[in-house]
Chains A and B, each alone.
Chain A
Amino acid sequence: MDPRKNKICQKPQEKDCQQTKQRGRREFLKGAARVAAFGGAAMLAGCGGSMLGSKEELSLRWKEYFKKHYSLMTQEEKDETVRRLEQLAKIKKNVNVQMSSAPPIDGVLFGYAFNVTRCEGYMECVAACVKENNLDRKSNMQYIRIFEMEHGQLTPEVGNAKFYHQVPVEDHFYMGVQCNHCQNAPCVKACPTKATWQEPDGIVVVDYDWCIGCRYCIAACPYYGRRFNWNDPVVPKDEMTKKQHYLGNRMRGRGQMEKCTFCIQRSRAGRLPACVEACPTGARVFGNLLDPDSEIRFVLKHKKVFRWKEDLGTDPKFWYFVD
């Protein structure tokens, strides 16, 4: 078995073998879960008022509420939930969404490198990320932060992320910060419900619908890589990116955690993340760490690279380098 595969992803197979044996018990537990969750469903109804939709919507929402954790679903179950979410998007917002549940590709481990010398602070990456990932416009959520740094500084903590002037400024350089997709991620360890985990291709993802919103992962993250939906996220219909992934840019709800997914909807389809594509200076490098001919491997081999907060032992897959 591929050693890179982490535990949570092996679970479905194990479960399948025992499935017949556990059926009786499982049915009982399902019943118990339903009773326990009924109160939760009532809460949803009480606060949203959106439960008063059509019968079809109600049935879709009901099934969505009682679905399993994503990594425990069989491929058929994943297909079903994706179809339900597409239908709900159509009913609720009249948007035609194409949602994917594409699995990780074998032999791929994603890595990212940021060229400190090249970045000039244009923030095209931020805008592209907001658009691509359907980030909440109401709270102005952004996954990427760009810090303006003076020479002599080399850690974003001492830089300035609130610059509103023409860039680049002389004698300054720029450093981008986003989720580091740590190989040893503190957020994954912190989550009480396993709602956040690392996929075999190295991407740290969140099952938005499994998250209980306790925000322990925010406290655990040393890179400020996670964002919380304090309000119902708002994305204008015509600005919405319709090509979505279950673990990526599909619409989130309030009270759920989200984060950079290396644009999983793009990277798993062989495309570059939106930030990399948008960068006008070519400061962003993304690729497969397991492919010796990839650009990211070239950078790691030939440039002077460093990682941020290396002392914390998080083993990030996000490098900085200078030309």
Chain B
Amino acid sequence: METTQEKIMPHKLSIIKEITAFVKDVITWSLSGGLAYQIYLCILAALMVLGVYAYFVQLRVGMAATNMSDIVSWGFYIANFTFLVGVAAAAVMIILPSYIFKDKDLHKVVIIGECVAIGALVMCLMFVFVDLGAPWNAWHMMPIIGLFNWPTSLLTWDVLVLNGYLVLNLLVPAYILYCHYYHRKPKDKLYLPLVFISIFWAFGIHLVTAFLYQGLPARPFWNNPLMGPRFLASAFAAGPALIIIVLVIIQSTTSFRVEDQVFNKIRRISVVAGIINLIMLFSEVFKEFYLPTHHSQPAIYLYFGLKGHTALVPWIWTAIVMNVIGTLTMAFNPGKNNPKVLVPACILLFLGIWIEKGIGLIVPGLVPSPLGEVVNYAPSWVEVSITIGILALGIFVVSLLLKPALMIEQQYEAGE
């Protein structure tokens, strides 16, 4: 019956019908689940509502609702943005081996990496948006209808690469899932070129974001050629660590099984990047403290405090301890393949880099000010609430994408 219908129907129409059925099922599957899943989604939604409320407060009061100032002109939002660009870029560490080196183990979880990247990108774009003082003018930055200062302004580069990476990361998995949904083999010719582009693009998004800071001679703490490479190393350590955590959560809450060698492979990627990251950190610290110059002031402020202002000191040392313990445990601990050791190590590494590449990177770039003034900064409740809302949105997006994606993959594998 169906086959005859397909024959009669013009080809184009059948594709539209196929896509509608696919989209319909994806939406249904992403929203349906047990009670626990529904409660989980509701909690995330509640946190998002908190974020929206705080954002309205910020719109009403102005950016004065934040604790930022002319000295600390970027704060919690941009800190989280910077870190999450790394998480988004890190998906490439799974994509590269699975599509290019045809690694069968990693190929099974590549979709998870891609979904995490999409969630991270959504959060990045939201963080930039909520940081705008005049968001109603955001269209001024759109090419053609606004004035897009490209290629001069690094910020326009960042807008381009982040949106481009989001599109790439939506297109490839959508196409593959669409094929798998109909139990077809995806055509290499159609998606592999995009995969190649997305690999270069992933390095691009993090390098461009680093250049955003690195290109400012006014800020000696940022104006450092190691910034770009270090961004990559820390991202390729934190991102895979996050994917391990996500995999463990998926395995314990769904019927999706991940084999042990997958964890082992991702752990190795994270460890190598983590060690390179520590070497670079050591190199930076050496430069700042062997013969401290006037340009070492921000680093002194960060690690030891300056003129009695020590707000960042406990944070950065916590971050470094977490970073070192996390990396070393994942590298040398005999129980490193045991989830009971691996997961806490991943959490330590992830949080350590979050602090260090977030607030520990942004605030010392701005303090002391170009006039040598030192102030402390801690986010206001509005900033914290909006941040929580955006993080909830990111987790929400990842969950809604992962649920149908994993169902389709499981069905496809069962049918194979």
Contact = CB atoms under 8 A, between A and B. Distances in A.
Interface stretch (B25-33, B61-69, B396-404): B61-69
A230 B62 contact: yes
Given A157-B294, A157-B372, A215-B131, 14 more contacts: A40-B135, A40-B139, A43-B59, A139-B64, A159-B372, A186-B216, A193-B137, A193-B148, A213-B137, A214-B155, A216-B212, A229-B62, A229-B133, A255-B63
Interface in B127-152: 128, 131-142, 144-149, 152
A210 B140 contact: yes
A178 B115 CA distance: 48
Nearest to A44: B136
Nearest to A25: B144
Interface stretch (A30-38, A103-111, A263-271, A291-299): A30-38
A290 to B, nearest CB: 27
A69 B64 contact: no
A218 B225 CA distance: 21
B370 interface: yes
B136 A228 contact: no
Interface residues of B, number: 53
Contacts of A190: 153-155, 216
A256 B373 contact: no
A33 to B, nearest CB: 4
Contacts of A286: none
A313 B218 CA distance: 11
A161 interface: yes
Contacts of B128: 214
A156 B132 CA distance: 30
A257 B70 CA distance: 10
B132 A214 contact: yes
A322 interface: no
A235 interface: no
A284 B314 CA distance: 45
A257 B136 CA distance: 15
A17 interface: no
Interface string B346-377: 00000000000000000001101111110000
Nearest to B137: A212
B156 interface: yes
A52 interface: no
A210 B61 CA distance: 20
Contacts of B152: 189
A210 B369 CA distance: 26
Given A230-B68, A255-B62, A193 B371 contact: no
A192 B62 CA distance: 21
The 7 closest A-B pairs by CB, nearest first: A213-B133, A255-B133, A157-B372, A222-B218, A40-B136, A47-B59, A254-B62
A139 B294 CA distance: 30
Given A193-B146, A194-B149, A231 B62 contact: yes
A1 interface: no
B159 A228 contact: no
Contacts of A257: 133
B74 interface: yes
B381 interface: no
Given A224-B371, A255-B63, A43 B135 contact: yes
Given A157-B294, A186-B218, A212 B371 contact: no
Contacts of B370: 157, 221-224
Contact of B218 (A221, A232, A255): A221
B217 interface: yes
A58 interface: no
24 contacts: A41-B136, A43-B135, A139-B64, A157-B368, A159-B372, A186-B216, A191-B149, A209-B137, A210-B140, A211-B133, A212-B132, A212-B134, A213-B132, A213-B135, A214-B131, A215-B131, A216-B212, A218-B70, A219-B218, A221-B218, A224-B371, A230-B63, A254-B63, A256-B133
A211 B134 contact: yes
B206 interface: no
B129 to A, nearest CB: 10
Interface in A13-30: 29-30
A147 interface: yes
A186 B218 CA distance: 8
B180 interface: no
Interface string A136-174: 000100000101000000001111010000000000000
B70 A227 contact: yes
A210 B141 CA distance: 9
Contacts of B59: 43, 46-47
Contacts of B133: 211-215, 228-230, 254-257
A158 B372 contact: yes
A204 interface: no
A55 B66 CA distance: 34
Nearest to A212: B137
Contact of A43 (B73, B136, B365): B136
Contact of A312 (B148, B218, B365): B218
B301 to A, nearest CB: 13
Contacts of A227: 70
A214 B128 CA distance: 8
B189 interface: no
Interface in A227-262: 227-232, 253-257
A220 interface: yes
B230 interface: no
A221 B212 CA distance: 14
A215 B139 contact: no
A186 B155 CA distance: 13
Interface string B211-228: 011001111000000000
Contact of A230 (B69, B134, B159, B216): B69
Contacts of B148: 192-193
Contacts of B142: 33, 36
